[in-house]
Amino acid sequence: MAAKYELKNLLGIVDHNENLSIIERDSRSLGYALGLNMLKILIERGEFVWLVLFEPLSVLRTNLKTVGLRLEDLLQRGNFYIFDIYGSVAKIKRNLPHIYQVKGDITGISFVAKYMEVASSALSETLKNLGVEEIERIWTLGFLDSSVGRLFDNPVEIYKRMWLLKYSPRIRPPIKDIRSIIIYNSAEFPKLESFIYEISDYVLESFVVGEDELKHLVVVSKSKKPGLENLVLEYLFDGGENVD
């Protein structure tokens, strides 16, 4: 029996520096939309969000619309930034504010070093613009982390090393609390799943059940906090916000 739960409560389980993954086990389950709904809640709360984009910007724009968000408006808010991995690799210039890219030769592992550099200086610049020495908390959101598999020759290693931005004391920006949401489609890049489970404090798997009447379900398949493990929730997309 699926339980009643609010999406904002699900988001609330993520604590200081913790990571939550949404694994889209079945494409029909639209797990990424669940992640974008979480983004919407974060933006409305005024949280600082750093989106790591592994998909074309147009794909993000289309899907933001489905949760009632407009890309151009988001980028004007001052609390939403994009690190454009896809555009960096495809060498597509953007004429929008608050989108960062890595320039030059970014093949192989040299990409990671440049990514760290650009991300760190982008965050420092943000602190300067805001006139503060530190930001209490930021959220990172990958859209979609599994798409990294299409961008590099050695995507597993590159993706793993990208996490040094969060965990290496040498590189880490002056932000005490970085909470991360990972969105991952298991069929698209199965080799990464082991790491996704490893890095996550919480994993939500989205899937679909039923034959005549299909239901979107999500199960908490890993939880650092006891009590949430194996919780099954049904979610509805109409209205966007409530998991019911």
Question: Per CB under 8 A, does 239 bind another protein?
Answer: no
**CB nearer another protein, residue 7 or residue 217:** 217
Q: Among candidates 215, 120, 203, which has minimal Cα distance to 162?
A: 120
222 contributes a contact to another protein by CB under 8 A: yes
Task: Characterize 179-194 residue by residue with b for buried, 16 or more Cβ atoms within 10 angstroms of its Cβ, and e for exposed.
Answer: bbbbbbbbebbeebee
Q: Which stretch binds another protein (CB under 8 A): 5-13, 33-41, 144-152, 153-161?
A: 153-161
Which residue has tokens 């939309």?
A: 33
Spatial neighbors of 190 by CB under 8 A, at least 6 apart, are none
22, 202 contact by CB (below 8 A): no
Helix, strand and coil content of the chain, in percent to the nearest 5, comes to 40, 25, 35
Which of 13, 75, 118, 207 is the binder for another protein (CB under 8 A)?
A: 207
Q: Is 104 in the site for another protein (CB under 8 A)?
A: no
Which residue, chain included where needed, has tokens 């690190």? 83
Q: What is the Cα 160 distance to its own chain's centre?
A: 15
Q: Which is nearer to another protein, 5 or 80 (CB)?
A: 5
| Residue span binding another protein (CB under 8 A) among the ranges 57-65, 84-92, 133-141, 157-165 | 157-165
Q: With contact defined as beta carbons under 8 Å apart, do 31 and 23 qualify?
A: yes
Under the binding rule (CB under 8 A), the answer on residue 224 touching another protein is yes
Sole window of 52-60, 66-74, 129-137, 158-166 interacting with another protein (rule: CB under 8 A): 158-166
Shortest reach from residue 232's CB to another protein, in Å: 5
Nearer to another protein, 141 or 233 (CB): 233
232 interacts with another protein by CB under 8 A: yes
Contacts of 157 (CB under 8 A, 6+ apart): 109
Does residue 28 interact with another protein by CB under 8 A? no
Binding of another protein by 217 (CB under 8 A): yes
Confirm if 188 and 149 have CB atoms less than 8 A apart.
yes
Instruction: Tell me phi and psi for residue 53, to 5 degrees.
Output: -100, 115
Binder among 196, 204, 235, 243 for another protein (CB under 8 A): 196
216 is a site residue for another protein (CB under 8 A): no
Residues that bind another protein (CB under 8 A): 17, 25, 109, 154, 156-157, 160-161, 163-164, 167-169, 193-199, 201, 203, 205, 207, 209, 217, 219, 221-227, 229-232
